[in-house]
Structure 1
Amino acid sequence: DRNAEFVVEGGDMPFFEDGKPSQYTQNCIEFCNNFEMERQRTLSFVQLLKDLDLFELKTANFTPQNPDGSAGQPQKIADYFGVSEEKLNKLPTEKLVELRDNGALGQIYAHLLSLVGWDRLVAVALGRASQTPQAANA
């Protein structure tokens, strides 16, 4: 986009040097290539999970704490598709070995572990959001 304000003659980061892509441009190209490779790996991983029918609809809830310390009314945050631990455990042993050997099993367990942190993540986000207006008024 030649009209972009950061594209100027003699800028700090030239796109080309001596008619060849500059180191900056090469780094940008490498980043884009790596991003595309990771995108393709993600698509393949998700397709593997679909093929194994491991996804199920899940709901992310958050239970706030009342001023007296008791649990408040649970609030629905989102619906999403996640790996079903029950379906994973029902896979045949040879399929689990295959997943272990191709590295997918570790990624699946990392996903399952990350699901445990929903409540804490939402609580941190809500805590930050509630502090922002107070800081602006101070």
Structure 2
Amino acid sequence: MASAPQNSALPLFYKDLIPLNSQQHASWKTRATDKATWLVGVNSIPLTVEEFPQAQRNFPIIFTTGDNPVPLALMGMNEGVNVFVDEDGTVNSPVYIPAYVRRYPFMLAKLRPDSEELSLCFDPTSELVGELDEGQALFDGADPAEATKNMLKFCENFEIAGNKTANFIAELKKHDLLMDGELNIETGQGQPFNYRGFQMVNEEKLREMRGDVLRQWNQNGMLPLIYAHLFSLELVRDIFGRQISQGKGPLVPANA
């Protein structure tokens, strides 16, 4: 169900990544855009746990498989399909845009594998950064300009949210609450569409959790986030319906 980056060595969206510095990029600018071209055809977006309350209004929230699950917002039920973004990158309806999308083409990254220090980097292939005629300056002399400071702060907050998300996942795994997911969509035409290859919270195990654990989760805000995920799964039929109405639906399974 999840669209993988074209280059597995780089995060989703990023085709290249270089550090921002005042020597090489003194005259560079960054510009805003109303076209999220990097979102075209991407059906699943990494999500931080802090975004669950907003995202669950628009997207099903699932978790990737494997030992290190990542929350994803589904913007389409099938790979290569994003029902909220047109082919030119226009977002076609009011919808929450995940922070992972909004930080592009910037991100914090390690310049050396032996160091924990993170530096502000960017994708030089993006048309949103460069020696542009218009836009906001990235540097004021040798110092970061306001636009750079704001983006650095945004990326720092994203990293903090990422750590909170890792703690959330660790707590789910500690209590063995994640299970292989399966979603079936009946269309009345042949066999139902079946989606697998993801994880979700096991509601049966959740109901059996000890009261003291549930009380702690309610107090620290984790329990509402779990239910935001579970309630969001009802949206799969809405996403599927949008695919069909946009002519992007999968082939109808043949009758058994």
Following superposition of structure 1 onto structure 2, how do residues 51-70 of structure 1 map, counting pairs within 5 Å? 51-66=174-189
Aligned-partner residue type, residue 115 of structure 1: L
Q: Distance in 2 between matches of 1:126 and 1:59?
A: 20
- Which of 233, 237, 243 is matched with 1:115 structurally? 233
Equivalent in the alignment of 1:93: 211
Equivalent in the alignment of 1:36: 159
Q: Distance in 2 between matches of 1:96 and 1:44?
A: 16
Q: After superposition, what is the alpha-carbon deviation per residue over 1:36-79, rounded to whole angstroms, capped at 9, x for unaligned?
A: 1111111110111000111111112222244xxxxx42011233
Query: Helix, strand or coil for the counterpart of 1:73?
Result: coil
- Which of 27, 32, 54 is matched with 2:150 structurally? 27
Identity %: 29
Equivalent in the alignment of 2:173: 50
RMSD (CA atoms)? 2.3
Equivalent in the alignment of 1:77: 195
**Cα contact 1:55–1:82 (8 A) shared by 2:** yes
Q: Distance in 1 between matches of 2:228 and 2:132?
A: 47
**Cα contact 1:63–1:119 (8 A) shared by 2:** no
C-alpha displacement of 1:12: 2.8
Equivalent in the alignment of 2:222: 104
The question of 1:126 aligning with 2:249 is answered no
* Rg larger in structure: 1
C-alpha displacement of 1:117: 1.9
Q: Distance in 2 between matches of 1:9 and 1:126?
A: 40
Q: Distance in 1 between matches of 2:248 and 2:188?
A: 14
Query: Helix, strand or coil for the counterpart of 1:96?
Result: helix
Q: Distance in 2 between matches of 1:12 and 1:107?
A: 38
C-alpha displacement of 1:127: 1.9
Q: Which has the higher contact order (CA 8 A, sep 6+)?
A: 2
1 or 2, which has the higher helix percentage? Answer: 1
Aligned-partner residue type, residue 129 of structure 1: G
C-alpha displacement of 1:11: 5.3
TM-score w.r.t. length of structure 2: 0.45
C-alpha displacement of 1:130: 4.5
TM-score w.r.t. length of structure 1: 0.79
Distance change in 2, residues 1:114/1:10 (3 Å)? closer
Aligned pairs, number = 126
**Which structure 1 segments of 5+ residues have no match?**
67-71, 132-138
